[in-house]
Structure 1
Amino acid sequence: MDVDVFVAAHQAQWARLEQLLGRGRRLTGEEADELVSLYQRTSTHLSLIQSSAPDPMLVGRLTQLVARARAAITGARRASWRDAARFFTAGFPAAVYRSRRWWIPTAVLSIAVGVLLGWWIAGNPEAQSVIAAPDDLRRLTQPGGEYETYYSSHPAASFAAKVWTNNAQAAAMCLVLGAFLGLPVLWILFLNMANLGVGIGLMASAGRLDVFLGLILPHGLLELTAVFVAAGMGLRLGWTVIDPGPRTRRAALAEQGRAALGMAIGLALILFVSGLIEGFVTPSGLPTWARIAIGVAAEAAFLVYVYVLGGRAARAGDVGDVEEADQTATLPTAA
């Protein structure tokens, strides 16, 4: 393509589009129709330039012009309470539901790794000696030891905030780093399961596994589920880099990236609930069965939320993406 000839042929249309966009008054019906027609033509021109003769200055000029025209046609839209309600009742649970084929296997395999590692540590004194010295191990696992006092070592409110921040960061890292083919996500999962396995192994070797489970289950069920969901979404994002499916890789990554961003917001709220349980319920004086029952109820409520609201929204076609009107146009329409 001869760029100079192309510019000469269409310069008048671009200038007219800029003139319409620069009007300080409302357009007439005829002018509005002309604006839409010129927007469509200019979008096609931009697509042709990008694919045939990517001139950086011309691409930048037409991109800005198309963006201005699209904003003028669609109008600016502000986020509202309706958007927030739609996100929490449809978008977020639909994204979690649609990614269940990733996070459920991730959860099963991760828990299996943690349990097997704990079983190996519990029956292997050599491994325990590598983890810590005998006196340190007793300080960790004995009645009133560090495993038990950890949850009551700080005021409940500040402890819950600290836990929430740490877990939200871990979930966000899984979502963001998933674009690197998912490899960093696997490492984050392994570190989490290694910590769990060490706790299981050391407390089991001291004959106090029931105490450990009574401390970890109230908040751990919901907390680990949120981490597994984030990890599953991160792995799905990584796989999209490898296999985008029938869409272009750019379009597929854009959709998955927007869904991942929304999921980060939703999971932050879920982890906030988990942090409250860990800060106020886990160290409380409630009987063990009552604390575990609260954790099971929170986990069950989340799963019902995902499978009922999320399943319904997913079957209706919601993929957890932003509304179509807020998405960037991916296929210009020729006039």
Structure 2
Amino acid sequence: MNIRHFIKQNRDDWKQLEQSISKLGKHKRNLTGKEIDQFSRLYQKAAQHLSYSQTYFPNEDVTGYLNELVAKAHNLLYKDQVSSFRQIRTFFSTTFIGLLLEQWKAVIVAMVLFTAGGLAAFLSVLDDPLHLYSLLPEQVAQSVNPEQLGANHDAIDASLMSASIMTNNIQVAFLAFAGGITFGLLTVYIMVSNGIMVGALAGLYWHHGSSYAFWAYIVPHGVIELMAIFIAGGAGLLMGYKLFAPGAYSRGFQLKRQAKRSVQLLLGTIPLFIIAGIIEGFITPASLSLEAKYAVAVLTLIAFVSYLASGKVLLRKNNAKAALHS
């Protein structure tokens, strides 16, 4: 059975299950025994379809769609209503990580775009430091002084700086995500332009022999910050790609589905931006040794990788439980 035939043959049952999920979620205690039996039957069929799709169409959109559908139905059938705190915990411990693992390729593409822009700008400024003025906004370029890196720590209002940085980074991430509606073109621009900014500055500090100090002021917050921006950028790129090549679905369906997933990914990056903002506001400008700043960067990277690894393990356990119930 090819994928088009598979979708055409079963989509009516999936649509019925979607409607039942919506009704059961709102009026769980008012359903009749017949309606509950029908819901259970539709859920079991969808679980079988998911198993088939995972075997024969593992990389197709329909598999991700069925995975979400079965998970929603399973939660309604086998779990009591959960508290807001538990919902938040579930989102950050499994849902967000699951979505991230599903679209890791788009995140890599966002990272490559950023890196390409950064490398091009780095080489350009390395060739002629005056190129900095053509690559960066005039106000930014004129404010850069490699000789004063890390100076005036005591003059910085750390709390104000942290709040300002968090706000700016979240705005960048939102634009990268929302850029998906332009078929990903705006997202590409944001990724490349942000890479150019970092690469141009890196080239200037390399030219002045201050690279070690420069990166010590970038990587403590940059590890988490850039990961969050890449995730938001990947969400925008994936949305743009699905609009450009919707596959077996309409563009309207893909926009609705991918927008929902991308919003969830964007929400998942907010704590990362908060952490990065706190580090950038309080630790980056602090009078610490450069080695201590690099140590903070390593710790944030280890913490982030550990978070993803633990979430992946928990996600596998939950999927195994769902398979047993089905």
**Normalising TM by the smaller chain, what interval?**
0.5 to 0.7
Runs of 4+ in 1 over 4 A off after TM superposition: 26-29, 32-37, 128-132, 136-139, 149-153, 314-318
Aligned ranges for residues 49-198 of structure 1 at < 5 Å? 80-128=84-132, 130=134, 140-144=144-148, 147-149=149-151, 154-198=156-200
Say what the alpha-carbon RMSD is for the aligned residues.
3.4
| 2:74 alignment partner in structure 1 | none
Identity of aligned residues (%): 25
For residue 314 of structure 1, report the CA deviation from its aligned partner. Answer: 6.8
Give the SS at the match of 2:181.
Answer: coil
How far off its partner does 1:299 sit?
2.1
Assess if the C-alpha contact under 8 Å between 1:94 and 1:311 holds in 2.
no
Per-residue deviation, 1:221: 1.4
| Distance in 1, Cα, partners of 2:154 & 2:232 | 28
Residue 202 of structure 1 deviates from its aligned partner by: 1.4
- Normalised to the residue count of structure 2, the TM-score between the two structures is 0.66
Higher normalized contact order (CA 8 Å, seq sep 6+, divided by chain length): 1
How high is the TM-score relative to the length of structure 1? 0.65
Give the conservation status (yes or no) of the 8 Å contact 1:119–1:200.
no
How far is 1:266 from its partner?
Answer: 1.3
Gap runs ≥5 in structure 1: 1-25, 38-73, 319-335
* Structure 2 Cα separation of the partners of residues 294 and 283 of structure 1: 13
Cα distance, 1:247 vs structure 2: 4.0
**Equivalent position SS for 1:143:** helix
CA distance, structure 1, for counterparts of residue 150 and residue 287 of structure 2:
13
Aligned length: 251
* Whole-angstrom CA distance in 1 between matches of 2:142 and 2:244: 48
> Kindly tell me: are residues 164 and 125 of structure 1, through their superposed partners in 2, closer, same or farther at Cα, counting changes over 3 Å?
closer
CA distance in 1, matches of 2:103, 2:196: 25
Equivalence for 2:236: 234
TM-aligned CA deviation for residue 317 of structure 1:
5.7
Change in CA separation of 1:104 and 1:242 when aligned onto 2, cut-off 3 Å: same
Distance 1:120 1:240 in 2: 34
Which has more helix, going by share of residues?
A: 2
Please tell me whether the aligned partners of residues 176 and 187 of structure 2 are also in contact (alpha carbons under 8 angstroms).
yes
The answer on whether the counterparts of 1:95 and 1:310 sit within 8 Å (CA) in structure 2 is no
What is the distance in 2 between the residues matched to 1:138 and 1:84? 44
Rg bigger for which structure?
1
Aligned mates of 1:259, 1:150 — CA distance in 2: 43
CA displacement at 1:172 relative to structure 2 = 1.2
Shift of 1:128: 4.4
Q: 1:95 to 1:27 in 2, by over 3 A?
A: closer
CA distance in structure 2 between the aligned counterparts of 1:28 and 1:221, rounded to whole angstroms: 50
